[in-house]
């Protein structure tokens, strides 16, 4: 398998750690069933290089992605992908959000069945589970648009996300952001689980029991980004799992 002209010998320690964390996120997406052939994308800001971020190319399956074959993208769209195919929609989405949110270092976008289903529901995500409580205090929505067919879609996405950490892309899927790889994983995990649970419940009843505002309050506090970064306790365990099951992500 050929790789873009990027290797750990050309990276600072900070960039290599970002590459390891991002490659881990791609393998976690495989493990949890969040993939859509080669579509969708996850990005990482390069900590010591303000002009670049890391992204996958459109011609790799997520289980092929390693730390060294991630592409260094400029925010202006230039890249080091060589003959590999850059996902233009991915660049628009990720560059727009990373530019608008300097405190954010990772962005994850998925096309899961449950995520798309809930994104197309008029009421969006509802307070039907503990999982929903983790994200309902920090969620936005964005109307469907083809990212490559409209002007300033990246800026529009960022404006609708505002200061939140999760978003329903209507008729399209899910988006989560984080200050760390652990945090973006946890917000996406709870958002996707909440969507799955909602789809399950609504397939059985049109009058579900909703969590009361009083009971929801501590759940919203639990998922409040001000109480983060989230996921720091779970991340080492997730990395141990990856090292057992998919150790080549570190290549």
pLDDT the model gives residue 9: 57
Taking only the tens place, the pLDDT of each residue in 152-195 is 899 999 999 999 999 999 999 999 999 999 999 999 999 999 99
Query: Does residue 242 have a pLDDT over 90?
Result: yes
In a domain? residue 41:
yes
Burial of 97-111, coded b for 16+ CB within 10 Å and e otherwise, reads: bbeebeebbbbbbbb
Cα–Cα distance measured from residue 186 to residue 191, given in angstroms and rounded to the nearest whole number:
8
State the total domains in the chain.
1
Taking only the tens place, the pLDDT of each residue in 206-235 is 999 999 999 999 999 999 999 989 999 999
User: Kindly report the CA angle at 178 between 237 and 153, in degrees rounded to 5?
Assistant: 140
CB-count burial class (<10 Å; 0-12, 13-18, 19+) for 51: exposed
Confidence of residue 5 (pLDDT cuts 50, 70, 90): very low
- 123: CATH: 3.40.225.10
pLDDT the model gives residue 187: 98
pLDDT the model gives residue 77: 79
pLDDT the model gives residue 80: 75
In a domain? residue 1:
no
In a domain? residue 3:
no
Q: Tell me if residue 41 falls in helix, strand or coil.
A: strand
Task: Give, to the nearest 10 degrees, the angle between helix 235-245 and helix 181-202.
Answer: 90
In a domain? residue 85:
yes
Residue matched to tokens 């730390």: 67
Taking only the tens place, the pLDDT of each residue in 49-96 is 999 999 999 999 999 999 999 999 999 877 876 778 788 889 999 999
What would the DSSP string read from start to end of 132-177?
HHHHGGGEEEE----TTTSTTHHHHHHHHHTT-SEEEETTTEEEEE
CB 12, CB 23: distance < 8 Å:
no
Q: Indicate the pTM of the whole model.
A: 0.93
Burial of 214-226, coded b for 16+ CB within 10 Å and e otherwise, reads: eebeebbeebebe
In a domain? residue 2:
no
Range of the domain at 118: 8-250
Query: Does residue 15 have a pLDDT over 80?
Result: yes
In a domain? residue 241:
yes
In a domain? residue 28:
yes
């Amino acid at each position: 398998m050929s790789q873009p002209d990027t290797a750990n010998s050309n990276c600072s320690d900070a960039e290599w750690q970002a590459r390891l964390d991002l490659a881990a996120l791609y393998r976690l997406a495989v493990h949890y069933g969040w993939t859509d052939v080669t579509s969708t994308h996850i990005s990482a800001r390069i900590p010591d290089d303000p002009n670049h971020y890391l992204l996958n190319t459109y011609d790799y399956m997520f289980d092929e992605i390693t730390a060294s074959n991630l592409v260094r993208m400029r925010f202006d769209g230039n890249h080091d992908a060589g003959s590999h195919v850059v996902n233009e929609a991915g660049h628009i989405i990720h560059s727009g959000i990373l530019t608008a949110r300097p405190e954010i270092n990772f962005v994850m976008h998925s096309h899961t069945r449950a995520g798309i289903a809930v994104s197309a529901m008029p009421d969006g995500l509802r307070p039907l589970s503990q999982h929903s409580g983790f994200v309902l205090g920090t969620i936005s929505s964005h109307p469907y648009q083809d990212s490559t067919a409209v002007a300033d879609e990246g800026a529009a996405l960022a404006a609708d996300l505002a200061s939140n950490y999760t978003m329903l892309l209507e008729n399209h899927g899910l988006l989560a952001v984080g200050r760390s790889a652990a945090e973006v994983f946890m917000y996406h995990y709870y958002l996707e689980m909440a969507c799955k649970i909602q789809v399950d419940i609504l397939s059985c009843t049109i009058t579900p029991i909703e969590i009361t505002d009083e009971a929801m309050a501590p759940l919203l506090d639990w998922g409040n980004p001000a109480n983060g970064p989230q996921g720091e306790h779970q991340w080492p365990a997730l990395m141990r799992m990856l090292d057992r099951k998919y150790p080549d992500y570190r290549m």
